[in-house]
Structure 1
Amino acid sequence: MDRRAVIKALTATVVLLAGQTASSLPAAEAASGGGGWTVQTLEAFADTLVPGQRRFSGDHAIAGVVQGPGAVQAGAVQLLQSPDLPLHPFLPGIAALLNTRATGYAARNLIWLPLTRPAFVGLSFSHRTELVSGLFDAGDVDRQIWQILSLLSGLAFDSASGCDTAEATSQQHPGLAWLGFPPPDADGLWRFPQHSYGRALADLHPKTTYSGSPV
């Protein structure tokens, strides 16, 4: 796998998401489970960063260590798979790389991995967390890949990246709803009539202009 190309695709994905128009990407929908080994591996990685509850009995990709939605339910994998982003062709390689790292981790720690699921998915949540923590070590050759992939997983949950925000709130996006993100006003805009600390933090300078600027 060309690591430089992967990093370029990941970086371009972040840039596109930061500068997207409101309707430039399809809305991320909660994953329903299943899928191939690439999808399961990416789900397990996203769930390690932002854990959620299992979607069904026998859900191996999501470890189910918490109650409530996580990155998977918030559409992290659907975001990564969007055909409007340059990352999609590299996802099988990224998943294979993560599973290779998981296999090595399991061998070093004498952990038996089931043959019916990807190596990373076969690890317990505590082992997934330990492995992923090591991926961010300063000396790790693939550190940038995991850093940007983690950023994208978090963005899917925290900000519904890839979705129109007003539409995401109206559809009860799992991440925004869990965080209590407020809906917009009737015209689709957000206003904050109550803000700051609710009290004056200092006396107003007598020469302050009407616009609030100092003289």
Structure 2
Amino acid sequence: MSGTSDDQVKTITLEAFADTIVPGEKRSPDDRAIAGVSTGGGAVQSGALELLHHPATGVTAGLEFLVPMLNGHAQAYAEKHALELDDSVPAFVALDYEQRSDIVRTLTAPGHPEKDGWVLLSLFCNMAFDSAAHMSTADALAAGHPGLLAIGFAKPDADGLWRAPKYTYGKQFAQTHPDTTPSGSPA
């Protein structure tokens, strides 16, 4: 991969991993990181890399080690299956979606010595899609966050607040306290 910086290798490898966890559609015809096995946005378009690089996750420092390990596993997989990899991209990126999935399935399987790290990485990729944990929910919805839209997350009212127009379980569980203010605060 001549001419490819360490940051580029890290980015494209993590994008390929995130896309394996929650697939999305290619951003362009020449997109190598995203396999394009799904329509709409997946983990990458939902901000998985932003979340993985957020200090609150506790995984940011470990990415420097996980990326070369993932590409090492991909290289070993290719050798085991007699696959010739395109060396213009990282090894994991050179694999197709099914091959990437085989590797992730192995790495996250019970008993795998590296399981904890790969499961944690997978969880954060899911979290970026399912909850937009790296940004405010209102901002995510305003920006058309693909995960929140896919799960049907309700948009806030015009004032930016969420209210349930009906009881969320279809019935009222308790009477409102008589000292509750119109804003919902206790008096």
Quick check: TM above 0.5? yes
**Are the structure 2 counterparts of residues 84 and 138 from structure 1 closer, same or farther at C-alpha, using a change threshold of 3 Å?**
closer
Residues in 2 aligned to 1:183 and 1:69: alpha-carbon distance in whole angstroms: 18
- Local SS of the residue matching 2:144: coil
Query: Could you tell me which residue of structure 1 aligns to residue 118 of structure 2?
Result: 146
Residues in 1 aligned to 2:57 and 2:110: alpha-carbon distance in whole angstroms: 28
- Local SS of the residue matching 1:89: coil
Residues in 2 aligned to 1:113 and 1:149: alpha-carbon distance in whole angstroms: 24
Query: Could you tell me which residue of structure 1 aligns to residue 182 of structure 2?
Result: none
- Local SS of the residue matching 1:43: helix
How far residue 161 of structure 1 moved from its aligned partner, in angstroms, is 0.7
1:179 to 148, 151, 154: 151
Residues in 2 aligned to 1:151 and 1:210: alpha-carbon distance in whole angstroms: 39
Query: Could you tell me which residue of structure 2 aligns to residue 40 of structure 1?
Result: 12
Quick check: 2:59–2:121 contact (8 Å CA) kept in 1?
Answer: no
Q: Which has the higher contact order (CA 8 A, sep 6+)?
A: 1
How far residue 111 of structure 1 moved from its aligned partner, in angstroms, is 1.2
Query: Could you tell me which residue of structure 2 aligns to residue 108 of structure 1?
Result: 80
Q: Which moved more, 1:87-96 or 1:40-49?
A: 87-96
**Are the structure 2 counterparts of residues 48 and 210 from structure 1 closer, same or farther at C-alpha, using a change threshold of 3 Å?**
closer
Residues in 1 aligned to 2:175 and 2:126: alpha-carbon distance in whole angstroms: 41
Residues in 2 aligned to 1:179 and 1:138: alpha-carbon distance in whole angstroms: 29
- Local SS of the residue matching 2:153: coil
The reply on whether 1:160 has 2:132 as its aligned counterpart is yes
| 1:38-90 C-alpha deviation (Å, 9 max, x unpaired) | 11110000000100000012101000011110000011012212356543333
2:100 to 124, 128, 133: 128
Gaps (5+ residues) in structure 1? 1-34
Residues in 2 aligned to 1:180 and 1:138: alpha-carbon distance in whole angstroms: 33
- Counterpart residue type for residue 150 of structure 1: S
**Within 5 A, what are the aligned runs for 1:1-215?**
36-82=8-54, 86-195=58-167, 198=170
Q: CA RMSD in A?
A: 2.4
TM (normalized to structure 1)?
0.72
Residues in 2 aligned to 1:146 and 1:80: alpha-carbon distance in whole angstroms: 12
Residues in 2 aligned to 1:67 and 1:111: alpha-carbon distance in whole angstroms: 27
How far residue 193 of structure 1 moved from its aligned partner, in angstroms, is 2.4
| Percent of paired sites with the same residue | 43
Residues in 2 aligned to 1:86 and 1:150: alpha-carbon distance in whole angstroms: 14
Gaps (5+ residues) in structure 2? 1-6, 177-187
Residues in 1 aligned to 2:103 and 2:139: alpha-carbon distance in whole angstroms: 36
- Local SS of the residue matching 1:66: coil
**Are the structure 2 counterparts of residues 84 and 148 from structure 1 closer, same or farther at C-alpha, using a change threshold of 3 Å?**
closer
